[in-house]
Amino acid sequence: MRFIGQILPVDGYVVRFRGSLNYHYAISLTHLYQPLIGTIPVMLYQTLLHELELETDHSPKTHHTLMSYLNLPLDEIYKARRKLEAIGLLSAFKKEKDGTTIFTYELQSPFSPRGFFQDAMLSQLLFHQIGDQKFHQLKQHFFAEKDEQPGEEVTASFHDVFETFTPELEVVEQMEPEPKAIEGNTDFSWLEHTLKQRMIPVRKVLTPENRRLLSQMQLLYGLDTYEVEKALLWALTETNELNAEEFKAACHDIFKTKNHSQSVKLTEKKTPVQPAGEELNEPQTKEEKLIRQLETMSPKELLEDLSSGHEASEQDLKLIRDVMTSQGLSAPVMNVLIHYVLLQSNMKLSKAYVEKIASHWSRAKLKTAREAMEFAKKEREKYVKKAKSRPISPRNQKREVIPDWFKESKQKTSEAAKTDQPVIDLDKEIRELEAILSQRNRKNNHYQG
């Protein structure tokens, strides 16, 4: 139901094509792409493609045309279009003209079979979708000619045949674009720091090709950066070169361990269903805004923001990396832990304190910043109740610093102050923290704008 209304039957559309079709494009669509996205998206792609041949003018058609061609409701067509966009076969553009909505559907050329198998993410998805035997049959078919030895290379080079000269006006020929590759987001600054710590040449390991491989595998298997780091270090050879196959196998093993040996399948992302009349709003309270920030930034970025933009120390980064690796904490949960410990320990990261909390939160299997905050609040309530039952000794009184989201209401705080350790008012420090994070948001918005 969530797709209904995204496009209307009266909305117009025009088709464009970018690049050129490779010789085996039909085989790629039916035997390589179709297992991943299904038959309807492939039918939609071929219908739009052949419409270009039938097009006598460039006037927009309505989506009624597609509904008639495919004999499908419009919401199914919209779902198929989104899958084509996600897999890199179509780009969609929307504009308003004379009170009418017009979409431009720009088709992208599919990978050739050889190019498909050379793309790490798509080939891995196909492997998990159709199984080991069928996958290797297809791959062997398309790569069979590679095993033949063509003989000694005798191809003439450009300079063997042509003379070069410098023209008066340099003309740069526009190359045909490569098919889109699917990539995710990887914190390469974290990985660079790890490699430098281990005296491993960064440029040799994090080549553009390897960066793309790391990004794709992280997106495919839903890995955290520390898990990508673990797989990367495992797959490095003695000469500090990345073995791509060992890296992919390591990522898959980590995925199976996390997900109890479940298989990787390409499924449509589910979005939460909102009650009628309710819209997704921006976070309003300070706690919601803080949660949003801690969910989207890396621990390294948080440390740098809290130190007024200065680089995080190697000692702090090593501590965080070791804790995340050993305890399996996600980045948002680690951010909450850092936030709390810094305010508790006068802006210092105490190794023993961090490890103690991390092991506790790891056993609780916390995954998000919100879960970590709620869990910390519940633990605080238990601590306060327990403290009420024992007498207070002046020697045992200790000052405690807590973040905004960790504070109780004024009434509970005043009651706790009578029976428990006194809570210091750190409004100034907390306001500074909020100002730092707000300044970071403004910078991000400026760059995005």
User: Residue 85 has which token pair?
Assistant: 């966009």
**DSSP symbol at 33:** I
Confidence of residue 90 (pLDDT cuts 50, 70, 90): very high
Q: Quote the strand ranges of 241-314, DSSP E.
A: none
In this predicted model, what pLDDT tens digit does every residue of 240-255 receive, in sequence order?
899 988 888 888 888 7
Q: For residue 307, give the nearest of 133, 444, 436, 124 by alpha carbon.
A: 436
Distance, CA of 308 to chain centre? 27
CB-based contact 218:231 (threshold 8 Å): no
**397 or 87, higher pLDDT:** 87
Q: For residue 354, give the nearest of 427, 309, 303 by alpha carbon.
A: 303
The reported pLDDT for the residue numbered 400 is 57
The reported pLDDT for the residue numbered 394 is 56
Q: Is residue 419 predicted with pLDDT exceeding 60?
A: no
Q: Among 20-29, 91-100, 331-340, 390-399, whose mean pLDDT is lowest?
A: 390-399
**Which of 105-114, 193-202, 313-322 has the highest mean predicted lDDT (pLDDT)?**
105-114
Whole-number average pLDDT of the chain: 77
DSSP 3-state of 62? strand
Q: Is residue 278 predicted with pLDDT exceeding 60?
A: no
**Which of 147-161, 270-284, 329-343, 427-441 has the highest mean predicted lDDT (pLDDT)?**
329-343
Using CA atoms, how far apart are residues 173 and 108, in angstroms rounded to an integer? 20
Confidence of residue 380 (pLDDT cuts 50, 70, 90): confident
Angle at 392 between CA 389 and CA 394, to 5 degrees: 170
CB-based contact 174:145 (threshold 8 Å): no
Q: Is residue 413 predicted with pLDDT exceeding 60?
A: no
Q: pTM higher than 0.85 for the full model?
A: no
Q: From its phi and psi, is residue 294 left (phi > 0), alpha (psi between -120 and 50) or beta?
A: alpha
The reported pLDDT for the residue numbered 411 is 45
**154 or 431, higher pLDDT:** 154
**DSSP symbol at 389:** T
Using CA atoms, how far apart are residues 220 and 55, in angstroms rounded to an integer? 38
In this predicted model, what pLDDT tens digit does every residue of 109-124 receive, in sequence order?
999 998 999 888 888 8
Using CA atoms, how far apart are residues 353 and 348, in angstroms rounded to an integer? 10
**63 or 216, higher pLDDT:** 63
